Structure 1
């Protein structure tokens, strides 16, 4: 799911002996040949969710709003505002005052304004389209585009943690919690929290109304995607640079991984499914895995607890610029074979122009839409390679 300080937290959240990182991968020799088709003015967008018709996409900004953006024209609509998620706090505020206060300029405001990190579609039938939303500060929600009555419904109210991504499936709503007892804006304090792993995978059951922790051993639980055959949930474990598998049939984590020791610190993930029938889906899709290219300085810190402690003991004025050089602007999108977990293609950028990092969605004709929490826009581009 994100900000620069957030990635500092990733370092401290790890028990170095438990992170299965191999040798630091070499940085690609050249950037990918990319033609930028459109730039969408958005406040540091998180997960980019494209409508199945390819008409619009949804995303959450660092201002606490949820935007619906027309892919062709770039016109954007404020679908949800901070008042929708925190009505008691903003009850007597007018729209202009909320907009002025929730402008993404200060992490200290996020507990009031909120931050939507995960959005997924759900189709109950042809005339009632809805989405599920993960708000880092307020919990899990269901939103109906059409119909009468209340459109936004709280499913799992949850504060004091770091809700990241969401995945509805049948009677279940799965969601990740990146840190079970720290909020997203508390990353300066999380930096010194060495009790790792501290992320979890959770599920809400519509039929029973119960919420269950399915696994609590993640080194930063992040984005999720459903497998082509509907048997597994792929979970991005950011700081371990791997994609883990949860078996929906047995409701247990698999011991093996879809992919491990990847060259990037993984973020949101998205599955491109191959056409198949209900009886013949064999996990033959492609998984888009955006992330930040691992570099030697970062890997050395992750492997050496003494070096990590020494690094974090310096003032933010010293270590933030160093850490920034390890992350920005080395962004990449990996395309993984779902059946084998092998890397099929790498889309790489070290110019800082495209910031292929937080989320990605593939359209037709080798076009992509990407969002990055480091820049105030999303981009639609065509890969020319």
Structure 2
């Protein structure tokens, strides 16, 4: 199916009644105040969680409705609780306290890997606590702004994105107005300890997801309104192609147990409200061929706020956002 055809199908679905109403919200899992920004979510090998990063550099674990989120780890190796606890997003102190974004468990080792916007690729043991820095640079250049993260469950290979080599997360509003395309898709192999760049010149790459069979990896380009596919195996190995063109800004991508992908899609940055009833932000489920299988409108939950991630787990959808203080849980 051509990319143009995929876009047409997507547009038809958006204009039809097939877009699910967002009236099946089950619960909201609030972060301890005044924390904000549960940008990405992860579940461990025994199904506990979600785990999420927060604005003050901590990783939190949801343990149930009574206790909510509790501290599990941090993404800064030298975090000072007195200085860091409770700080807000885009604070200058974040470069010391850390800002965890992408999260993923290596189910072979039970370690939690973290794409920290300032410190690079980090990991913590299954018991949590202080992190170990895995990778801080590639090709001799220190990372400026790591964002998305996924791990191949069969090989343990880590794929992550550097949103920009010019700007940092504290410069996010400027970055989104800049037309910057210095981002990249990066691979880290824990067996060889080698780090390599797979794709360059990406327009704010935000999300990344490995296919169920490990033959390719998807990467979203937030400012290019598209998702690219990079082939890891087969006749097209080491080449890329447009997987999905979208009418909005794609953020994180998450694979479900069936091998489909959920993409969080947002309105154009700075765009005026549309004349027809808004359908963005939106959760979009696509198969391995880029066919749109399902859409769930999220405008009632988030309004004009951005949705960073939608993840399916044990029959429920979990949505996250850099702009709010809670995780939404609803039926797909």
Bin the TM-score by the shorter chain: 0.7 to 0.9
Pairs aligned (count): 308
Tell me what 1:62 maps to: 55
Deviation track 1:22-72 (CA, whole Å, cap 9, x = no partner) reads 799586577614222211112221111133544321111122211111255
CA contact (8 A) 2:73 2:124 kept: no
Q: Is 1:118 aligned with 2:102?
A: yes
Q: 2:76 aligns with which of 78, 85, 93?
A: 85
Deviation track 1:231-279 (CA, whole Å, cap 9, x = no partner) reads 11111122222221122237955343332x22331111111132xxxxx
Tell me what 1:36 maps to: 25
Tell me what 1:226 maps to: 210
The 4+ residue runs of structure 1 with deviation greater than 6 A are 21-24
Q: Structure 1 or 2: larger helix share?
A: 1
Tell me what 1:154 maps to: 133
Question: What SS class does the counterpart of residue 239 from structure 1 fall into?
Answer: helix
Residue 187 and residue 129 in structure 1: after superposition, are their counterparts in 2 closer, same or farther (change >3 A)? closer
Tell me what 1:376 maps to: 325
Tell me which structure has the larger Cα radius of gyration: 1
Structure number with the bigger relative contact order (C-alpha 8 A, sep ≥ 6) is 1
CA contact (8 A) 1:179 1:198 kept: yes
Q: Is 1:350 aligned with 2:289?
A: no
Residue 270 and residue 191 in structure 1: after superposition, are their counterparts in 2 closer, same or farther (change >3 A)? closer
Tell me what 1:336 maps to: 286
1:272 and 1:31 map into 2 onto residues whose CA distance is 19
1:342 and 1:370 map into 2 onto residues whose CA distance is 21
Q: Is 1:163 aligned with 2:156?
A: no
Tell me what 2:68 maps to: 75
Question: What SS class does the counterpart of residue 172 from structure 2 fall into?
Answer: helix
Deviation track 1:303-362 (CA, whole Å, cap 9, x = no partner) reads xxxxxxxxxxxxxxxxxxx55858x99311001122x21111111133354767211121
Residue 336 and residue 186 in structure 1: after superposition, are their counterparts in 2 closer, same or farther (change >3 A)? same
Question: What SS class does the counterpart of residue 269 from structure 1 fall into?
Answer: strand
CA contact (8 A) 1:129 1:146 kept: no
Residue 193 and residue 332 in structure 1: after superposition, are their counterparts in 2 closer, same or farther (change >3 A)? closer
Q: 1:182 aligns with which of 151, 156, 167?
A: 167
Q: Is 1:256 aligned with 2:241?
A: yes
